[in-house]
């Protein structure tokens, strides 16, 4: 019956009886109970028809509330809506990300402000908190009386993070990134043979460098490879690097004209990665293919582990390879957006990366 009032209202008792196939006395008693519970309210009387007018009923907008809080890297946005879906209060503030404590305090302040804006007193909010506590959404500290996320909310959050697919989240960003950078861009993951392209968006420019899906990048000579070498454990990267090094030595011994440059031992190569660590980007300038440059930015998941590289590649003559140039900025912005969606928080988990 409540659903009938919500979807049809304002609605009369006779209309509800026809829709629900309930008797009029049953509808009258149920409506009286809903009005007493303040879930439904009278909304005037019918007009324009034959016979006496009838009382009309509608959902009480203030019968319940929905609160949504979105915490992003730069902004905290919160809103309260009534049960009809109408927003009654909203606040947007720049996020205070200096520490976890300051951010949590800010969220609490915004929530209290929203409640005041919507005319929701603590007494009104308490029954909702009790209900949320019963199902595990929140739990109350017995000593301080403060509420925090409960076990069910934490489990739901973890499930959401575990199901997040970095490639699926990053893919829609590629067309805009290619247009903004002016170069071909690609998503690169760590595969069984090393850094591997899984998706790419060609540059809108007439003259550009293209890449194919499934291409496996060199660890030593490419921006993506060097980035993975910094952020993945040695036990994962070193075996692939050593295989690449042996292949380069064999090609050189056979005197192949296009043989890759001999690679240094692992220790020497690892010491060359300080620049990547300092700038947070991988960079390659003609090391593997003359006249081609690339930059690559890391994407991190909620654990602080690198799960994806977003790479731009183009002709060296037209490619801005500066650490703080336009291409680097565009890549960092895209990688930050995807990392945020995956639950990565630099302030709290960067040391784990």
Closest CA to 230 of 285, 275, 294: 275
Higher pLDDT, 247 or 50: 247
User: What is the average pLDDT score of the chain?
Assistant: 80
Higher pLDDT, 275 or 8: 275
Peptide bond into 10 cis (omega under 30): yes
Q: What is the DSSP letter of 259?
A: P
Buried b / exposed e along 192-213 (16+ C-beta atoms within 10 A): eebbbbbebbbbebeebbebee
Closest CA to 76 of 53, 50, 109: 109
Buried b / exposed e along 79-100 (16+ C-beta atoms within 10 A): bbbbeeeeebbebeeebebeee
323 falls in which pLDDT band (50, 70, 90)?
very high
User: Is pLDDT above 50 for 139?
Assistant: yes
Q: What is d(CA 139, CA 339) in angstroms, rounded to the nearest whole number? A: 29
Helix axes 326-341, 174-181, angle to 10 degrees: 160
What pLDDT shows up at residue 129?
65
Q: How is residue 284 written in tokens?
A: 């390659």
Q: Which of 82-91, 127-136, 314-323, 340-349 has the lowest mean pLDDT?
A: 127-136
Closest CA to 195 of 307, 100, 49: 307
Contacts of residue 199, defined as CB under 8 A and 6 or more positions apart, other chains included, come to 167, 170, 171, 174, 186, 187, 213
What pLDDT shows up at residue 188?
92
User: Is pLDDT above 60 for 158?
Assistant: no
The mean per-residue pLDDT over the stretch 109-117 comes to: 80
Task: Quick: pLDDT tens for 202-247.
Answer: 887 765 666 777 788 889 889 999 999 999 999 999 999 998 888 8
Report the sign of the C-alpha dihedral through residues 33, 34, 35, 39, in that order: positive
DSSP bridge partners of 188: 197, 309
Closest CA to 10 of 50, 61, 51: 61
User: Is pLDDT above 60 for 187?
Assistant: yes
The mean per-residue pLDDT over the stretch 132-151 comes to: 72
Q: How far from chain centre, in Å, is Cα 218?
A: 30
Closest CA to 240 of 248, 135, 284: 248
Q: How is residue 49 written in tokens?
A: 């028809």
Closest CA to 323 of 273, 281, 277, 274: 281
What pLDDT shows up at residue 311?
95
The mean per-residue pLDDT over the stretch 41-60 comes to: 78
Q: Which of 14-18, 82-86, 208-212, 243-247 has the lowest mean pLDDT?
A: 208-212
| Structural domains of the chain in order of their starting residue, each with its CATH number | 2-62 (1.10.10.10), 63-163 (3.30.420), 166-352 (3.30.450.40)
Task: Quick: pLDDT tens for 258-291.
Answer: 545 678 888 888 888 999 999 999 998 876 566 8
User: Is pLDDT above 60 for 200?
Assistant: yes
Closest CA to 67 of 106, 125, 121, 135: 125
163 falls in which pLDDT band (50, 70, 90)?
low
What pLDDT shows up at residue 353?
37
pTM of the complete model: 0.56
Tell me the three state secondary structure of residue 49.
coil
What pLDDT shows up at residue 349?
41
User: Is pLDDT above 50 for 351?
Assistant: no
What pLDDT shows up at residue 157?
59
User: Is pLDDT above 80 for 20?
Assistant: no
Q: What is the secondary structure of 68-121 as a DSSP string?
A: EEEE-SSEEEEEEEETTS-EEEEEEEE---S-HHHHHHHHHHHHHHHHHHTT--
Q: Give phi and psi for 174, each to the nearest 5.
A: -65, -45
DSSP bridge partners of 185: 201, 312
């Amino acid at each position: 019956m409540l659903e009938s009032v919500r979807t049809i209202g304002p609605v009369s008792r006779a209309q509800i009886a026809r829709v629900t196939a309930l008797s009029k006395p049953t509808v009258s008693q149920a409506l009286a109970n809903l009005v007493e519970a303040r879930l439904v309210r009278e909304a005037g009387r019918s007009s324009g028809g034959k016979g006496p007018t009838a009382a009309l009923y509608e959902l009480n907008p203030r019968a319940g509330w929905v609160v949504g809080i979105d915490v992003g890297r730069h902004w905290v946005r919160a809103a309260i809506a009534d049960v009809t879906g109408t927003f009654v209060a909203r606040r947007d503030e720049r996020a205070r990300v200096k520490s976890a404590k300051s951010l949590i305090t800010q969220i609490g302040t915004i929530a209290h402000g929203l409640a005041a804006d919507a005319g929701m007193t603590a007494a009104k909010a308490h029954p909702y908190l009790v209900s949320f506590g019963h199902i595990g959404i929140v739990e109350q500290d017995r000593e301080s009386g403060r509420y925090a996320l409960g076990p069910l909310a934490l489990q739901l959050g973890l499930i959401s993070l575990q199901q997040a697919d970095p490639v699926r989240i990053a893919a829609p960003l590629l067309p805009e990134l290619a247009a903004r950078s002016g170069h071909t861009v690609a998503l690169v993951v760590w595969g069984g043979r090393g850094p591997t392209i899984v998706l790419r968006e060609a540059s809108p420019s007439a003259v550009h460098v293209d890449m194919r899906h499934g291409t496996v990048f060199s660890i030593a000579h490419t921006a993506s490879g060097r980035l993975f070498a910094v952020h993945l454990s040695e036990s994962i990267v070193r075996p692939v690097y050593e295989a690449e090094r042996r292949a380069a030595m064999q090609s050189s011994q056979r005197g192949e004209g296009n043989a890759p440059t001999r690679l240094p031992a692992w220790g020497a190569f690892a010491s060359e990665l300080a620049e990547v660590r300092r700038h947070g980007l991988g960079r390659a300038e003609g090391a593997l293919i003359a006249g081609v440059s690339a930059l690559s930015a890391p994407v991190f998941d909620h654990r602080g582990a690198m799960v994806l590289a977003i790479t731009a590649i183009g002709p060296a003559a037209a490619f801005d390879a500066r650490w703080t140039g336009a291409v680097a900025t565009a890549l960092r912005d895209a990688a930050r957006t995807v990392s945020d969606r995956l639950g990565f928080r630099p302030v709290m988990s960067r040391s784990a990366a």
